[in-house]
Amino acid sequence: MNQIIEKAEIRWADIDPNFHVLHSKYYDYCANARMNVLQKNGVTMQAIQQYNIGPILLREECVFKRELKFGDTIEIKIFLKSTDETFTRWSFVNEIWKNGDTLAAVITVDGAWMDTIKRKLATPPDAFKKAFDAIPKI
């Protein structure tokens, strides 16, 4: 199976008073990684604006396995869990790995495409569907 791995940098600003990464940053790392992958596959900001359609999250869940600390290197593996027939709704699973060998977290998101003018769920254009085809399935 092909893998998509995005790297992320732990910044000093990501650290909480317990000297590890603040819980909400895990979500931020994965959101950025997902959008990087979509952009690389044609779902650019220009396309999002052209079609007046954008991604929204309906549910986001993280299972924390190991803490991340300043100085750790992290990689995010991205998988497409499911879509509906029209690609309007979708689910991703992201795994955050630290220092190349330790699973630190698993984040699952359920989302959809929204028409940014009508403010309702929307079916994405074919170009967006092709971007989803490039993402490994689990």
Residues of the chain falling short of pLDDT 50: none
Looking at residue 137, what is its pLDDT?
Answer: 95
- Which domains are delineated in the chain? 5-133 (3.10.129.10)
With vertex at residue 134, the alpha carbon angle to CA 115 and CA 2, rounded to the nearest 5 degrees, is 145
Joined together, the tokens standing for residue 84 give 């509906």
Note whether 69 and 11 are within 8 A (CB). Answer: no
Beta bridge partners, 77, equal: 5, 95
pLDDT at 2: 76
Fill in the DSSP letter of residue 93: E
- The pTM for the full model equals 0.93
Q: How many angstroms separate the CA atoms of 120 and 53, rounded?
A: 10
Instruction: Please name the amino acid found at residue 37.
Output: V
Cα–Cα dist 109/62, whole Å:
9
